[in-house]
Structure 1
Amino acid sequence: MRFIVHSDINHCYAQIEEMMHPDLKAVPMAVGGHEELRHGIILAKNDLAKASGVKTAMSLREARQVCPDLLIILPHYDDYIYYTTKVKDIYRQYTDAVESFGLDEAWIDLTHSQALFGDPVMIAQTIQKRVYEECGINVSMGVSYNKIFAKMGSDLHKKRGFDVIMPDNYQKIIWPLPIEDLFYVGVRTAPKLRARGIGTVGDLATMPKGIIKSFLGKMGEYLWYFANGYDESEVQPLYEGMKSVGNGITTCKDMNGLNDLKIVLTILCESVATRLKQAGLKGAVVRIGLRGSNLRYFSRQRKLERATNVSYEILDMAMTLVKENIRDGIFRSVNVTVSSLKKDDGVEQLSLFDDLEKHDCHKQLDQTIDAIRERFGYHAIGKAIVLEDQELADFNPLEENVIHPVGYLK
């Protein structure tokens, strides 16, 4: 049997700020936008702020209404990358099978670590203890026989929570959970399930698979397998051997001209940028591919001056390649890929000609959008350009890409 751990640095940004500045533990504090200008959202909060009603993705104004004494700290991303890398370096002392999922989360496969280190549950407890003693950071952990249940286990109890979910107890632990707690059930999917009387993970798991698929399509089939623990996907160290990150789509209708292409490319580039950040990567080469209504395929690529995982910079190069090579036309499908990957170590190598303020602005915008989508679902926020043709823009490449495929697909 496999032994997979999901480890989560609780309230990551806020916890790292408290670790660096212990006096912040004594006041309600959150990491968010610019305090004086009152814009932006809450990215993370400490326990005192949470107790006062502050929630992730709240606007600063809303947060101050529920907690007038709230202290807002501007994010220090370089520090967060540095310390989360130290934490993951501890994980890698026990196995090379460590898969990052954003800065604060990772799957760890301890199946083959038993020969050297003994009982996998004891190994996970040792790792949790070492992270706190050596880095001053609390992590919650879920131990299971698949990635989905391990992830859900780490969410059960925060602040050094530790839950073991195995074939003999998953129905008791997982099935009573509200359907919203199932991995990949977002704010748009949950109401569709609840409208059909599916309020818990167990309700979904015991419903005939064909019924779920009839109204949720292929994603419904994935969710049914997730709820029943039928997930054999491997823990993969994404930064090793990974050649590129990309997304593409054959649109529901033809893209007529450059503006339609930009609408779709905006969504694809956001997805690629998010997936790069989840893997802790940057890329230096942007490639686009287009297929016209005549089914002829066209592709171009170009190297950036520096590696990036900022969606605007990927989109800017993608549109540059489009504009330089085509003037107009009708297109059926499009894809964008970022390659020449490197680990995101938090170091920004900017030239004298770079617009640092613009770069930081778009970097923080990406972080804000990702935080809102993580809490409220993918369609909770989007760039204004997608409103120009909502039919063309009605797709979600992050979920439809299915980053963690279930084993039955093999």
Structure 2
Amino acid sequence: MHTGKERIVLHCDINHCYAQIEEMRHPQLREIAMAVGGNEMSRHGIILAKNDLAREFHIRTGESLREAKQKCPHLTIVPPDFPAYLYYSEKVKDIYREYSDQVEDFGIDEAWIDVSDSVQLFGDGMAIARLIQKRVMEEVGLTVSIGVSFNKIFAKLGSDLVKPNGIVRIGKDNFQKIAWPLAIDQLFYVGRATKEKLHLLGIETIGALACSSRLYLREQLGKMGELIWWFANGENISDVALAGAANEVKSVGNSITTAKNMENADDAKLVLYVLAESVASRLKQKGLKGRVICVSYRTSELKSFSSQQKIEQPTDISEEIAEIAFQLLKVNYRFTYPLRSIGISVSHLHRDRGYSQIQLFKSEKIREKNEKLDVAMQQIREKYGFYKVKRCCLEMDRTLTAFNPEKEHVIHPTGYF
């Protein structure tokens, strides 16, 4: 827990993690423009990471392989090897853990380290950062960029400023000089939508945000406006979690890039049912039910949207999750462009107590029937395989529905709060 002593927090980021691990394992890849990407034939074809030579062609993480090839026709695409990435990232984090028992993961390639209690043994924050950087290169063969600061927000900002293999200190004595001139979207938790709202308010830099009225930002952006104002002013005291501490599950979700575009709502509905079954199954495995259903989708033009609805009674029933997600999609999207990918998540989670409040306008018999159907299907799949049982409607277009969401889903980080 945070006390009155001076805090020293590092944020370590394995530079372009997947691509760098592939280069480390296969040194010849360092000589060519290379990116790690999905299977273009099955349409899981997006750039996951790229090396420095590919970066010179302005290839972006998240764009389609087709777009990347248009920019760089000789680009080499390497299929992802996630077990290898997990293995090497854990070797790196094992080094981090030698300097503190407070090591908090943020994805596979990033972590915060609170070294406040380690300075007596290893020197100040910059000295520890240099030690870690040197050891990761010598023992694992990877470069890491490190931010050194008095809180998690500025430590992460520092690790983003010099890549690869940089170390940046953002302290109480210099954060206004270093952080405040930066574009507003370089501040953690300022995404595209928040950036656009801030620009409309005439706020384009972190310094402009910090010097704005906190109450005005809360009026305009709600709690998020006040939160990022505190961030910009260096007022973040959230602790770095202990190594191995389990984060509370905040949402359960699945998303998929389909083998072909979803041209209309009927196409999307088929995919939503497959995803909803997986989400419902995972909720049951964790003993959770949720009250907020969210559907997210990305068009063939790679524009992303999402909609959500809060429901009266927490659910882990696939039929209910799918129907709410489908209604959200129908109300909020007109299929001006086909959809390339789609996802469902359930949040505002509660422990399943084994009972629920009876509702006047819903048939409890139907709910009970659908819940038993979910359980029966899951038991069959666990015993005989995923494809042994499915809804009849999913046979209408096997190209869209012939995927196993438990193996092919994409999990998006929900943040560290």
Number of the residue aligned with 2:216: 211
Residue 289 of structure 2 aligns to a residue in which SS?
Answer: strand
> Given that residues 12 and 159 in structure 2 are in contact (C-alpha distance below 8 angstroms), is that contact kept between their aligned partners in structure 1?
yes
1:366 and 2:376 are equivalent in the alignment: no
Partner of 1:245: 249
Tell me which amino acid in the other structure corresponds to 1:68.
P
- Secondary structure at 1:164 match in 2: strand
The whole-number CA distance in structure 1 between the counterparts of 2:214 and 2:358 is 47
Q: Which structure 2 residues correspond to residues 8-407 of structure 1 after superposition, within 5 A?
A: 8-36=13-41, 39-237=44-242, 239-240=244-245, 242=246, 244-247=248-251, 285-288=286-289, 353-355=384-386, 358-359=403-404, 363-366=407-410, 370=412, 398=414, 403-404=416-417
Distance 1:330 1:178 in 2: 51
The CA distance in 2 between the partners of 1:328 and 1:238, in whole Å, is 43
Q: Is the 8 A contact 1:5 1:142 kept in 2?
A: yes
- CA shift digits 1:85-104 (9 cap, x unpaired): 00000000111100000000
Give 3-state SS (helix, strand or coil) of 1:2's partner.
Answer: coil
AA matched with 1:104: D
**Conserved? CA contact 2:101–2:243, under 8 Å:** no
Partner SS for 1:112: coil
Which residue in the other structure is 1:395 paired with?
Answer: none
The 1:362/1:231 distance shift into structure 2, 3 A limit, reads same
Distance 2:409 2:118 in 1: 40
Structure 1 unaligned regions, length at least 5: 249-258, 274-281, 302-310, 332-349, 375-397, 405-410
Provide the residue aligned with 1:335 in structure 2. none
Change (3 A) 1:299 1:171: same
Contact 2:251–2:345 (8 Å) recurs in 1? no
SS state at 1:230 partner: coil
Distance 1:289 1:24, change over 3 A: closer
Contact 2:97 2:243 in 1 (8 A): no
User: 1:382 maps to which residue?
Assistant: none
- Aligned equivalents of 2:284 and 2:156: distance in 1? 27
Q: Which amino acid aligns with 2:410?
A: D
Task: Give the secondary-structure state (helix, strand or coil) at the position aligned to 2:117.
Answer: helix
- Measured after TM superposition, the shift of residue 124 of structure 1 is 1.4
For residues 221 and 202 of structure 1, the distance between their equivalents in structure 2, rounded to whole angstroms, comes to: 15
Secondary structure of residue in 1 paired with 2:161: coil
Report how many aligned residue pairs link the two structures: 312
Change (3 A) 1:63 1:164: same
Q: Which runs of 5+ in 2 are unaligned?
A: 1-5, 253-268, 293-310, 318-341, 363-380, 388-401
For the 8 Å contact 1:31–1:72, the answer to whether it is kept is: yes
**TM-score (normalizing by structure 1):** 0.67
Give deviations 1:258-306, integer Å, cap 9, x for gaps: x9xx99x96x969xx9xxxxxxxx9952321569xxx9977889xxxxx
Task: Report how far residue 355 of structure 1 moved.
Answer: 3.7
| AA of the residue aligned to 1:245 | V
**Within 2, Cα distance between the matches of 1:94 and 1:39?**
39
